[in-house]
Amino acid sequence: MAVREGLLALLHEGPRYGYQLKTEFEAATGGVWPLNVGQVYTTLDRLERDGLVEVRGVEGETAPSQKTYAITVDGVAALGEWWEAVPSDDPPPRDELMLKVLMAIERGDDHALRVITHQRTVLLTLLQARRKERRAAGDESLAARLVTDALVARAEADLRWLDTCEEHLQRRPASATSAPTTASSTSTRKASR
Amino acid sequence: MTTDHTTPPAAPPAIDGATGTAAVEFFDVVKRFGAGSNEVRALSGVSLRIEPGEFVAIMGPSGCGKSTLLHLAGGMEDATAGRVYVAGRDVADMSITDRAALRRREVGYVFQRLNLLASLTALENVSLPLELEGVAAKQARARARDALAAVGLDHRVDRYPDDFSGGQQQRIAIARAIVGERSVLLADEPTGSLDTVTSDAVIELLAGLPAQFGTAVVLVTHEPRFASWTDRVVFLRDGRIVDDTAHPVGAGTASGGFR
Ligand SMILES: Nc1ncnc2c1ncn2[C@@H]1O[C@H](COP(=O)(O)OP(=O)(O)O)[C@@H](O)[C@H]1O
Ligand SMILES: [Mg+2]
């Protein structure tokens, strides 16, 4: 869970109170990743247990909100590894959209084309809604802008892939594409797999 | 759901009727080029209603008819069959002079590039459509300055297009397309040659026009990132509308269609 590393990254800037970490984390992620303060303290407890973070300055029965947290040498090392690690899905990728389209093709090309058209529309509608929220919130921060850009870029990749699927389906022999949806589940295409 | 605007009208739509006048309306529009074995069907029965102040993207693979749709919406070409209304008027019923006036008064057009006359200054490029309409030069210049200010260009307007960056030239082209309170702005891949950040700025500018001027903006693009700024996306394939975020094909059939 990247919240751990996110908190470590903030603590690398210097010691902080728990609540301060919550607000700074939310600002840094453009407001798309809200944290409740309980989640922050739970994560800090685990980081402390693992020796990546230590409590500074106060002893004894001080309330959590009074505690200052600081990163340890081990914490700095763990953070260093995180910056270098590449986020990746274990191949083969198993995302839901891909599964949906592959299953739809199994059922028949006409059905697959309908699913593709629908998914494309839904993806764009989501992007529009996202963009609209941002504009309504009037959040012009660079973080907010870049978060939207990241979502757009991922959706673009999905949309390009849907276009590619559609092209391949339309280029298949007429017998495959013109088969009625109801009959296609029994069509000979299955033999090719 | 999509059938309510595919029925050709018995009579022209009522102007300022209960539903108001559409900025652009297509009724079962067909556009063919060439004849016989060379015949190309660029549009095969397109029905579409675009409201005043709506920001619509037209998306689809190259050759699917996007530019043709814009040319018809701007009264620049005739439909082979079906009807096209721009600002409430049937384009086919208009004389050549009326149509030229429609293009000057109601429709603004922004192309991918080569929008500006190199021999005129930025200000002159923008005031030209007004001066052609007979607006006095001084007043035309004043309105052109306002339009340039609206796109964020309020100084150096006496320079020539070549002195501006690509993004600034597109802003000037947009200023020229909105000067004089047009009903419709048609933009055909207006960011074609621009970098991403500059393109975003141009699209953001287009996105602000409907609220600011009540102009309908129709944007042809194949980039989802630009389409995401719009209110609505219409998907074109082989000259037909295959989906429309305002009337999604899947929405009504989700239970029956995808089970
Ligand atoms: N003036 C023309 N003469 C002949 N064919 C044309 C003409 N304009 C467009 N077409 C054809 O009509 C189809 C649609 O073209 P167009 O509207 O330019 O597509 P898009 O803008 O989506 O790429 C294409 O097959 C194109 O070759
Ligand atoms: Mg084109």
Task: State whether B186 and B102 are in the same domain.
Answer: yes
Least confident of A54-58, A182-186, B86-90, B183-187: A182-186
d(CA B158, CA B125): 10
- A3-84 CATH: 1.10.10.10
Say whether both B201 and B154 belong to one domain: no
Does position A57 have pLDDT exceeding 80, yes or no?
no
Nearest by Cα to B25 from B81, B76, B91: B91
Whether ligand 1 lies within 6 angstroms of the CB of B66 is answered as yes
What pLDDT, on the 0 to 100 scale, is given for residue B58? Answer: 97
One domain, residues B197 and B174: no
Q: Are residues B191 and B140 in the same domain?
A: no
Ligand 1 touching residue B14 (CB < 6 A): no
Give the distance (Å) from ligand 2 centre to CA of residue B70: 9
| Sequence letter at residue A180 | P
Q: Is the ipTM of this complex over 0.90?
A: no
Q: Are A166 and A116 in contact (CB under 8 A)?
A: yes
Contacts of A153 in chain B (CB under 8 A): 225
Whether the per-residue pLDDT at A41 is higher than 90: the answer is: yes
Say whether both B194 and B140 belong to one domain: no
**What does the alpha-carbon distance between residue B244 and residue B241 come to, in Å, rounded to a whole number?**
7
Same-domain check for residues B139 and B95:
no
Q: Cα dist. B67→A117, B71, B90 in Å? A: 21, 6, 20
What's the pLDDT score for residue B85? 96
Of B138, B163, B181, the position where a domain reaches its end is B181
pLDDT over 70 (residue B67): yes
Q: Please report which ligand is nearest the Cα atom of B66.
A: 1
In terms of average pLDDT, the best of A129-133, A144-148, B158-162, B188-192 is B158-162
Out of B181, B200, B230, a domain closes at B181
Q: Tell me if B43 is assigned to some domain.
A: yes
Same domain for B101 and B187?
Answer: yes
A9/B105 Cα distance (integer angstroms): 57
> Quick one: B226 and B133 in the same domain?
no
Residue of B nearest to A155 (CA): B224
Please determine, for residue A124, whether its predicted confidence score (pLDDT) is greater than 70.
yes
**Domain hosting residue B30, numbered range:** 17-106+182-246
- Determine, yes or no, domain membership for B170: yes
The bound ligand whose nearest atom lies closest to the alpha carbon of B71 is 1
How far does the centroid of ligand 1 lie from the alpha carbon of residue B96, in Å?
23
Residue B161 lies in a domain: yes
Q: How many domains does chain B have?
A: 2
Angle (nearest 5°) at CA B94 between B68 and B48: 40
Q: Which residues contact A98 (CB under 8 A, 6 or more apart)?
A: A161
Nearest to A32 by CA among A158, A134, A154: A134
Last residue of a domain, one of B144, B161, B181: B181
CB contact under 8 A, A156 and B245: no
Residue B3 lies in a domain: no
Find out whether the beta carbon of B38 lies less than 6 Å from any atom of ligand 1: no
Q: Is residue B50 part of a domain?
A: yes
Chain B nearest-CA distance from A172, in A, is 17
Cβ–ligand 1 contact at B65 (below 6 Å): yes
Of how many residues is chain B composed?
259
CATH of the domain at B71: 3.40.50.300
pTM for the model: 0.77
- Asked if the Cβ–Cβ distance from A117 to B249 is below 8 Å, we say yes
Same-domain status, B41 and B143? no
Which of B203, B223, B226, B228 is most worth mutating to test chain A (most A CB atoms within 10 A of its CB)? B228
Contacts of A157 (CB under 8 A, 6+ apart): none
On whether both B204 and B102 belong to a single domain, the answer is yes
Indicate whether B59 and B150 sit together in one domain: no
d(CA B221, CA A144): 24
Cα–Cα dist A8/B67, whole Å: 52
> What average pLDDT does the structure give for chain A?
80
Residue appearing with tokens 């590393």: A5
Tell me the pLDDT tens digit for each residue of B94-152.
998 998 888 888 898 888 777 799 999 999 999 998 898 888 999 999 999 988 988 88
The answer on B76 and B46 residing in a single domain is yes
